Amino acid sequence: MNREHLEDRVRTKLKVSADEFAAIWSKLKDERWLSDYDRGEVTEEDILDEAKKYEDVLCKVRRQWGEGVRYLPPARPDRVIPEKVSVELDGYTRKRAETASEVAATFADKHPEVRGFRRTYLGGEYVRLTEEQAQEFLDYPPTGEILDELLSLAQKLGWHYRWTYRDTWLFLLTGIVPHILPLRLHYNYVRDEQNSPEPHYPNMAEITLIVEPWIDAKDVERVYRDVQRQVLGGDNRKKDERTMEAVSFVARLIRQHSGLSWSEMKERWNRSQNDPAWRYSSRGGLHQVFKRFVRAVYHPLDYEPHGPEAQ
């Protein structure tokens, strides 16, 4: 059954107006039920069960606010997805980062290993190369040991001054002052192939913020919220207790009893629940809940770090 026919079938099952049905259908689309149906991962019965939940919400809204209400509660404003996450720092923070960068470079200039490197490979501790000469130096070093020395110094200086390898190399060769980023972001996520016949990894993600202790906490919160909305697609609703208990129950069954069908796992779950509201009536309901938890959608991050050009 295609989506158009599904829409007609669901419309005949619900006792709502045309405007209310449009709101319910839009909600099903936003919550990915319709795309899951197109892929054959949920049934018409599952879609109808979910649509009836939204119908119940409309009934409650009407009872509270009157018969004139013809819509589902609007999406929360914090679900708006930023096109690009950028770190915009105030004047004080930028100035302090610039000052810290100058201080770090001053101390690094006096570092005995930095002075020794420049004397050995540049011909003097006060000798500096242009950026073009530095790139040629890196592409065609006079000796192979120079690269080992550069790597060793980059690891040491990068740790103490919070510089990248490239920043360190440019500083050693040209004296260009590396810009210290007072707020840095790292994001990575693990995603098994959706079409893999035997997936072995649940979808998981990690956001890491590295922050100077003097940055305003409001700036940190703002950046994190922007990152979170982009990574989660604007959807950071909490999982309810029923969902988490059901997912844990299924995970234990899969470990303990190889080969159980989803119908059998649903029956075992339902038998274990005294509260009828926690039982699953539809054939694919429990499967859908587990799959959505394990295959949570994490989006790529479009991130623009703060740099000296922003000052």
- Write the pLDDT tens digit of every residue in 236-273: 778 889 999 999 999 999 999 888 898 899 999 999 99
Q: Examine the domain organization and report whether 13 and 48 are in the same domain.
A: yes
pLDDT recorded at residue 81: 55
Domain contains 84: no
Give CA torsion, residues 258, 261, 265, 268, to 10 deg: -90
Domain contains 239: no
Contact (CB, 8 A) for 263 and 281:
no
Q: Which amino acid is at 198?
A: E
Q: Examine the domain organization and report whether 52 and 109 are in the same domain.
A: no
Contact (CB, 8 A) for 277 and 205:
no
Q: Positive or negative CA dihedral for 222, 223, 227, 230?
A: positive
Per the DSSP assignment, residues forming a β-bridge with 222 are none
The range of the structural domain enclosing residue 38 comes to: 1-74
Residue 79's pLDDT band (cuts 50, 70, 90): very low
Contact (CB, 8 A) for 283 and 263:
yes
Last-in-domain residue among 45, 74, 103: 74
Last-in-domain residue among 142, 174, 206: 174
Look at 212 and 297; give whichever has higher pLDDT. Answer: 212
Look at 89 and 195; give whichever has higher pLDDT. Answer: 89
Domain contains 122: yes
Q: Examine the domain organization and report whether 52 and 18 are in the same domain.
A: yes
Percent of the chain with pLDDT over 90: 27
Last-in-domain residue among 26, 42, 74: 74
Distance separating alpha carbons of residues 30 and 50, to the nearest angstrom: 13
Contact (CB, 8 A) for 159 and 116:
no
Q: How many CB atoms lie within 10 A of CB 187?
A: 17
Residue 30's pLDDT band (cuts 50, 70, 90): confident
Q: How many domains does the chain have?
A: 2
The whole-chain average pLDDT of the chain stands at 82
